[in-house]
Chains A and B, each alone.
Chain A
Amino acid sequence: MNLSFAGNFFPYQYETYKLPNGLTSYLIPVKGSGLVAYYSIVRTGSRDEWEPGHSGFAHFFEHMMFRGTKQFPGAVYDSLVTSMGADANAYTTDDYTCYYLVLPGSKLELAMTLESDRFQNLSYSEREFKTEAGAVYGEFRKGRVNPWSVLEENLYNLAFDVHTYKHTTIGFEEDIKRMPEMYDYSKNFFKRYYRPENVVLVIVGDFDPEATKTLIKKYYGNWQRGYIAPKITPEPPQKSERRKTVIYKGRTLPILAMAYKGPAFDPKDKMSAAVYLLGELAFGQNSDLYRRLVIKEQKVQFLGGDFSFHRDPNLLTVFSMIKDENDIDYVESLIEETIRKMQQNSADARQLEDLKKRLRYGFLMNLDTPSKIAGRLARIIAMSGRLEAVDELYSTIDQLTPDDIRAAAGKFLQKSHRTVIVLKGEK
């Protein structure tokens, strides 16, 4: 196995196919499976909900995309997808919305017919729109009983003042309640964001690239440009620490979240990549603090760092679920102590190398089905617009030194940039 990150890290060859209207397609043919993963990545998520009162709309709109067109009304669309035996679904995140079908390769043209049609000609009645709003509220209700959902909503709401990351992807409940009244807005949302220059197709599996390019041109070639970028206000630098205690209406062990303002995703930037590794080195299962708090002292049930990538500067969050409420301050002090050490000392060289290996093996071992390949690529493509960013990112990671980790900790893990939430259950 080639252990170097240098060169092409992504192991499969691919073709990039661009239409004059701006639609980019990545074709990754891998023979033998009989299956094709067909991913349509819309580079719009809850981040793009910039107008007040519209939080959660990208996710709601994802639901509407299954309501059909004049040519293929919802029931017909469902019936055709069912007849293909496709695994078909969609999900929405802060930075993008992803629609996927995994289907027998022989059905690729039918899938493209359906997908290109709904992306260009979506059509639904106001009544259907309002009914779907009920399903979205149901999804909210389902998740709302989870303390982690409550924590997340409070954390982002407090940490951000103006940027759209202030709200979570599911949205604020008061906005979800008002969704049935937003039929006209939904038409506008579709016109604004569901445009070829804002969508990337990733097709992986058993297909012929040349024939597929012809199909893409045929089915997507007439799609008109028209993307209008959201007016997202950049978040100004945070000047002082923010804190809040949240009471969860149920029982839970207390959860401590300490979140620092991080950088935007940039696959060529060392600091951006170093931050990603920093969270794992300091708070992951191979960290000194994990061994101390989880395994030896057993004061916490869970410790972890979510220092993941986002399109705009987001949060670098350390989470801990603490067994005894009286230990919250103690755990917080140890997290602070760990951060101080990371800022003052170079990271442990062996731990860093172990982490690099882990990331590499983890990435590659999970490229074992067409769907997993496309799914793994989706976020990076959504953030950057380019599959090439995968190789760039892992090349940057390969070059990171223990000093880079220290520098990233010094730059981003500042107390004045942090937001702390303590969530407690009802007594």
Chain B
Amino acid sequence: MKVKRYFLIFVVLFGILFTQCQQSERKNMVLLPVKDDPTVSFRLVFKVGSAFDPKGKEGLAALTATLLTNGGTKKHSYEEILRMLYPMAASVSSQVDKEMTVIYGRVHKDNLNAFYEILKEIVLTPGFREEDFTRIKSNYLNYIQNTLRYSSDEELGKAALYEFIFKDTPYGHLNQGHVSSLKKITIDDIKAFYQKYFTRANLVIGLGGGYDDSFADLVRRDFRQLPQGVPARLPEFEPPAFQGLNILIVEKPRANATAISFGYPIKLLRGQPDFYAMALANSWFGEHRNSSSHLYQVIREARGLNYGDYSYIEHFPNGGRRQFPPPNVARRHQIFEVWIRPVPKEAGLFAFRAALRELNLLVSNGLSEQQFNLTREFLSNYILHYAPTTMMKLGYALDDNFYGIDGHFLELFPQKIKALTKEQVNRTIKTYLQDRNIKVVFVTSNARKLKDMLINNKPSPIKYKTPKPQSVLEEDKAISAYPLTVDPEKVTIVPVEKLFE
């Protein structure tokens, strides 16, 4: 069996060990050379994001990055850039999160020089054309006013939860901004934001794949054209403290289902000693889109109430569209989050109670020996799927840089997981998880009825259209009467059209 040399893509990718990964100029460049990779991957990370949006101009960081990658440069119009990239099957894209902006793209080596010239122009000499700005701003407004509010209740619920938890902090708004703030942003705001933050002081260049040393030198030299600037600094802040169940009901009059998200801040970041034990506990409780998730087993598999139920200890955007976590959404503040996919609206409160009860059981009982062993075995192998390509590995290496991880997370993770003990995991659960102080978002119709049931701790019995085993029915009795203590003052109803306004 003979394989054409040029396309031995993944043979070499999977063979990459991070011993090859180099950090030069102390954290300003992350290199992941893969000699025989026929492609080259770029990830230019600027250590700035939506948390740096000025008050009243929320969405500015995201608009700025999108204008760079979806607009023209000084030399070329957007239309010309699209035309040049088209035959390469390449693109330059951006992703903005709270503290990171990444401009990224991948190209076949055949087209490296031409692609790189475009990438360089996009970042170093953006065009800031009014017509591009108008087009992009209009897309953003449509996203919030129509897509986010109406086309996916579960994504809406998750977005609302993050704003609810981080209210009045730099993390307290949607990365894309709000309708009113977007309308206020001008192209001069974009230029000023770019000049202030798109500087060498904030840039980490990620380069991976089949480039040679001289190319890496060229990239390093070229990006020195950016002004030095000063490192972006976010003021220290804490998510607002709260007590009890705090509930936001997003009312959508025509919703025929209820989407639920809940969570609270946890003081735990990737790379910290307890992170790995918590990752194991979370995996057992709610591994993303995996039937190994305990919540999935309880709510979907045994009861057929919805399509899936998961939990998180790190931000995981667009969970409905991806199987594995994206890189470069690193944050200094994370939440523990539970995502219950839409359930029939009459089962909304029951599903919430079921998840809350399971959280209580996890906190009280921890994992059994069998649960611990199975999850440990699972995670040690499952990590292989997180970053199978150079582009993804590069992303993780850049996140290592953000979190100050000594070594490489992808390599450390299976080692740390294998070294865990059940006692460690159960101790960590007690340290970081709790079921008393939680912020909850429901997206549903008939918000008043739900509020009444919540504040009066009314039982939420469930009727199935199909038979269920006696054990499930017995457990249902405990779930439907699971006690909720909800202060009426802590329940807010907001019509969907007011959200993100």
A: which residues have CB within 8 A of B?
Answer: 1-2, 11-15, 29-35, 66, 74, 78-79, 81-87, 89, 102-104, 127, 130-135, 137-139, 141-142, 144-148, 180, 209, 249-253, 285-286, 291, 294-296, 298, 301, 323, 353-355, 357-362, 364-365, 367-373, 425
Q: Nearest 5 pairs between A and B by C-beta?
A: A85-B381, A134-B304, A130-B466, A33-B14, A11-B7
In this assembly, does B104 line the interface, its C-beta being within 8 Å of a C-beta of chain A? Answer: no
Residues of A within 8 A of B307 (CB): 135, 138-139, 142
Give which listed residue, A86, A180, A251, A371, contacts B388 with CB less than 8 A.
A371
Question: B240-269 toward A: CB 8 Å interface, digit per residue (1/0)?
Answer: 000000000000001111000000000000
A137 to chain B, nearest CB (A): 8
Give which listed residue, B79, B342, B467, contacts A127 with CB less than 8 A.
B467
Beyond A12-B7, A132-B304, 16 extra complex contacts between A and B, CB < 8 Å: A14-B1, A29-B1, A32-B15, A33-B13, A84-B378, A85-B382, A104-B381, A130-B465, A134-B303, A142-B153, A296-B131, A298-B134, A353-B87, A361-B88, A361-B108, A368-B388
In this assembly, does B300 line the interface, its C-beta being within 8 Å of a C-beta of chain A? Answer: yes
Within 8 A of A (CB), among B1-60: 1-4, 6-15, 38-39
Determine if B151 and A146 form an interchain contact, defined as CB atoms under 8 angstroms apart. Answer: yes
Residues of B within 8 A of A371 (CB): 388
B9 closest partner in A (C-beta): A368
In Å, the complex CA distance between A146 and B156 comes to 12
Determine if A1 and B135 form an interchain contact, defined as CB atoms under 8 angstroms apart. Answer: no
Determine if B87 and A13 form an interchain contact, defined as CB atoms under 8 angstroms apart. Answer: no
Determine if A141 and B374 form an interchain contact, defined as CB atoms under 8 angstroms apart. Answer: no
Question: B364-389 toward A: CB 8 Å interface, digit per residue (1/0)?
Answer: 00000000001101111111110011
**A133-B304 in contact given A1-B108, A141-B342 (Cβ < 8 Å):** yes
**A138-B300 in contact given A145-B152, A253-B142, A301-B138 (Cβ < 8 Å):** yes
Determine if A286 and B306 form an interchain contact, defined as CB atoms under 8 angstroms apart. Answer: no
B30 to chain A, nearest CB (A): 20
In Å, the complex CA distance between A14 and B134 comes to 50
Can you give 13 A-B contacts (C-beta < 8 A)? A33-B10, A133-B304, A134-B465, A142-B154, A286-B86, A291-B79, A298-B135, A323-B142, A353-B87, A354-B86, A354-B87, A365-B9, A369-B389
In Å, the complex CA distance between A84 and B379 comes to 9
B288 to chain A, nearest CB (A): 11
Determine if A32 and B12 form an interchain contact, defined as CB atoms under 8 angstroms apart. Answer: yes
In Å, the complex CA distance between A174 and B387 comes to 41
B212 to chain A, nearest CB (A): 17
In Å, the complex CA distance between A70 and B433 comes to 38
Residues of B within 8 A of A147 (CB): 150-151
Determine if A12 and B469 form an interchain contact, defined as CB atoms under 8 angstroms apart. Answer: no
Residues of B within 8 A of A134 (CB): 303-305, 464-466
Question: B142-163 toward A: CB 8 Å interface, digit per residue (1/0)?
Answer: 1001110111111000000000
B39 to chain A, nearest CB (A): 6
Residues of B within 8 A of A79 (CB): 374
Question: B285-303 toward A: CB 8 Å interface, digit per residue (1/0)?
Answer: 0000111100000001111
B12 closest partner in A (C-beta): A32
In Å, the complex CA distance between A2 and B90 comes to 18
In this assembly, does B423 line the interface, its C-beta being within 8 Å of a C-beta of chain A? Answer: no
In this assembly, does B179 line the interface, its C-beta being within 8 Å of a C-beta of chain A? Answer: no
Within 8 A of A (CB), among B198-219: none
Determine if A32 and B86 form an interchain contact, defined as CB atoms under 8 angstroms apart. Answer: no
Determine if B378 and A83 form an interchain contact, defined as CB atoms under 8 angstroms apart. Answer: yes
Residues of A within 8 A of B419 (CB): none
A358 closest partner in B (C-beta): B89
**A85-B7 in contact given A142-B257, A145-B152 (Cβ < 8 Å):** no
Give which listed residue, A104, A286, A368, contacts B389 with CB less than 8 A.
A368
**A365-B304 in contact given A12-B3, A82-B292 (Cβ < 8 Å):** no
Question: B409-434 toward A: CB 8 Å interface, digit per residue (1/0)?
Answer: 00000000000000000000000000
**A138-B378 in contact given A12-B3, A32-B14, A354-B86 (Cβ < 8 Å):** no
Determine if A250 and B378 form an interchain contact, defined as CB atoms under 8 angstroms apart. Answer: no
Residues of A within 8 A of B469 (CB): 127
B: which residues have CB within 8 A of A?
Answer: 1-4, 6-15, 38-39, 78-79, 82-83, 86-90, 106, 108-111, 131, 134-135, 138-139, 142, 145-147, 149-154, 254-257, 289-292, 300-307, 320, 323-324, 341-344, 374-375, 377-385, 388-389, 464-469
Determine if A11 and B3 form an interchain contact, defined as CB atoms under 8 angstroms apart. Answer: yes
Determine if B108 and A251 form an interchain contact, defined as CB atoms under 8 angstroms apart. Answer: no
B304 closest partner in A (C-beta): A134
Determine if A369 and B388 form an interchain contact, defined as CB atoms under 8 angstroms apart. Answer: yes
Determine if B291 and A34 form an interchain contact, defined as CB atoms under 8 angstroms apart. Answer: no
Determine if A180 and B39 form an interchain contact, defined as CB atoms under 8 angstroms apart. Answer: no
Determine if A83 and B306 form an interchain contact, defined as CB atoms under 8 angstroms apart. Answer: no
Determine if A34 and B14 form an interchain contact, defined as CB atoms under 8 angstroms apart. Answer: yes
**A365-B14 in contact given A138-B342, A142-B342, A147-B151 (Cβ < 8 Å):** no
B436 to chain A, nearest CB (A): 29
In Å, the complex CA distance between A360 and B134 comes to 34
Give which listed residue, A89, A131, A362, A373, contacts B89 with CB less than 8 A.
A362
B323 closest partner in A (C-beta): A87
Determine if B291 and A66 form an interchain contact, defined as CB atoms under 8 angstroms apart. Answer: yes
Determine if B384 and A104 form an interchain contact, defined as CB atoms under 8 angstroms apart. Answer: yes
Residues of B within 8 A of A142 (CB): 152-154, 257, 306-307, 320, 341-342
Residues of A within 8 A of B381 (CB): 84-86, 103-104
Residues of B within 8 A of A81 (CB): 291-292
B449 to chain A, nearest CB (A): 19
In Å, the complex CA distance between A135 and B135 comes to 40
Determine if A298 and B131 form an interchain contact, defined as CB atoms under 8 angstroms apart. Answer: yes
Determine if A251 and B135 form an interchain contact, defined as CB atoms under 8 angstroms apart. Answer: no
B380 closest partner in A (C-beta): A85
**A85-B378 in contact given A135-B300, A142-B257 (Cβ < 8 Å):** yes
Determine if A13 and B305 form an interchain contact, defined as CB atoms under 8 angstroms apart. Answer: no
A46 to chain B, nearest CB (A): 18
**A138-B138 in contact given A29-B1, A146-B152, A251-B150 (Cβ < 8 Å):** no
Determine if A87 and B39 form an interchain contact, defined as CB atoms under 8 angstroms apart. Answer: no
Interface centre among B82, B138, B323 (most CB of A within 10 A): B82
